[in-house]
Amino acid sequence: MVGVLIRMRLRITARSMREGRAALNFWLGTLFGVLAAIATALIIATAHETVHGGVTIAAALYGAWTLGWICGPVLTGSSDETLQPEQFRLLPLTPRQLAYGLGAAAFVGPAPIVNLIAFGGLVLLAAQIGWGATVIAALGVVLQLVFVVLLARTVVAWLGAAMRSRRGKDLGVLFAALIGLAYYPLNLLISTIGPKLDGDHGGLSVALRAVPSGWAPYAVEAAARGNYLLALVPLLGLALLSLVLWQSWAVLLERRLTTPAAPESQVLDSGGGLLDRFLPTTPVGAVVAKELRTWWRDGRRRAALIPLLIIGFVLPIFLSVRAGGSGTIPFSGAFVVWLATMSSTNLYGFDGTAVWQTLVTPGAARADVRGRAYAWALLVAPLALLATLILPGALGRTQLYPWALSTLPVLFGVGMGAVVYLSTHAAFALPPQRGNPFAGTGNPGCMKMLMQLAVGVVQLLATAPVLAILGIGAALHNPLIQWAALPIGVLLGIVAALLGIRLATTRLAARGPELLAEVKPR
* pLDDT for the residue 398: 82
**439: helix, coil or strand?**
strand
Please name the helix (run of DSSP H) or strand (run of DSSP E) that holds residue 402, with its range, or none: helix 401-425
The answer to whether position 271 is within a domain reads: no
Q: 232 and 362, same structural domain?
A: no
**DSSP string of 247-305?**
HHHHHHHHHHHHSPPPPPPPSS--S-SHHHHHS-SSHHHHHHHHHHHHHHH-HHHHHHH
The answer to whether position 268 is within a domain reads: no
**79: helix, coil or strand?**
strand
* pLDDT for the residue 421: 92
The torsion region of residue 20 among left (phi > 0), alpha (psi -120 to 50) and beta comes to: left
Domain that holds residue 251: 2-9+32-258
The answer to whether position 264 is within a domain reads: no
Contact 88, 98 (CB under 8 A): yes
Q: 412 and 489, same structural domain?
A: yes
Domain boundary (207, 223, 258) is at 258
Report how far residue 274's alpha carbon sits from residue 268's, in angstroms, rounded to the nearest whole number: 12
Q: 311 and 250, same structural domain?
A: no
CA 22 to chain centre: 19
- Burial (CB count within 10 angstroms: exposed 0-12, middle 13-18, buried 19+), residue 504: buried
Report how far residue 321's alpha carbon sits from residue 184's, in angstroms, rounded to the nearest whole number: 11
- Burial (CB count within 10 angstroms: exposed 0-12, middle 13-18, buried 19+), residue 494: middle
* pLDDT for the residue 505: 94
CB environment 345-375: b (16+ within 10 A), e (fewer): bbbbbbbbeebeebeeeeebbbbbbbbbbbb
- For 171-190, the three-class secondary structure string (H helix, E strand, C coil) is HHHHHHHHHHHHHHHHHHHH
What is the tens place of the pLDDT at every residue in 343-378?
788 888 888 888 888 898 888 999 999 999 999 999
Closest residue by Cα to residue 153 from 477, 484, 439, 416: 439
* pLDDT for the residue 481: 92
Please name the helix (run of DSSP H) or strand (run of DSSP E) that holds residue 499, with its range, or none: helix 485-510
Q: 164 and 302, same structural domain?
A: no
**DSSP string of 302-356?**
HHHHHHHHHHHHHHHHHHHHHHTS-SSGGGHHHHHHHHHHHTSS-HHHHHGGGGH
Q: 284 and 139, same structural domain?
A: no
> What letter represents residue 417's amino acid?
G
The answer to whether position 37 is within a domain reads: yes
Q: 343 and 253, same structural domain?
A: no
Domain boundary (226, 258, 290) is at 258
The answer to whether position 19 is within a domain reads: no
Report how far residue 224's alpha carbon sits from residue 261's, in angstroms, rounded to the nearest whole number: 52
Domain boundary (258, 288, 323) is at 258
The answer to whether position 382 is within a domain reads: yes
Q: 319 and 460, same structural domain?
A: yes
Report how far residue 23's alpha carbon sits from residue 15's, in angstroms, rounded to the nearest whole number: 8
What is the tens place of the pLDDT at every residue in 27-42?
777 788 888 889 888 8
> What letter represents residue 344's amino acid?
S
Report how far residue 319's alpha carbon sits from residue 312's, in angstroms, rounded to the nearest whole number: 11
* pLDDT for the residue 374: 94
Q: 436 and 386, same structural domain?
A: yes
Contact 493, 418 (CB under 8 A): no
Report how far residue 233's alpha carbon sits from residue 225's, in angstroms, rounded to the nearest whole number: 14
Contact 216, 238 (CB under 8 A): yes
Closest residue by Cα to residue 432 from 44, 38, 28, 84: 84
The answer to whether position 16 is within a domain reads: no
CA angle 442, 453, 462 (to 5 degrees): 145
The answer to whether position 24 is within a domain reads: no
Count structural domains, the chain: 2
* pLDDT for the residue 267: 42
Report how far residue 161's alpha carbon sits from residue 163's, in angstroms, rounded to the nearest whole number: 5
Q: Which residues of the chain, if any, have pLDDT below 50? A: 77-78, 264-272
Q: 351 and 464, same structural domain?
A: yes
Residues facing 79 on adjacent strands:
439
Q: 361 and 283, same structural domain?
A: yes
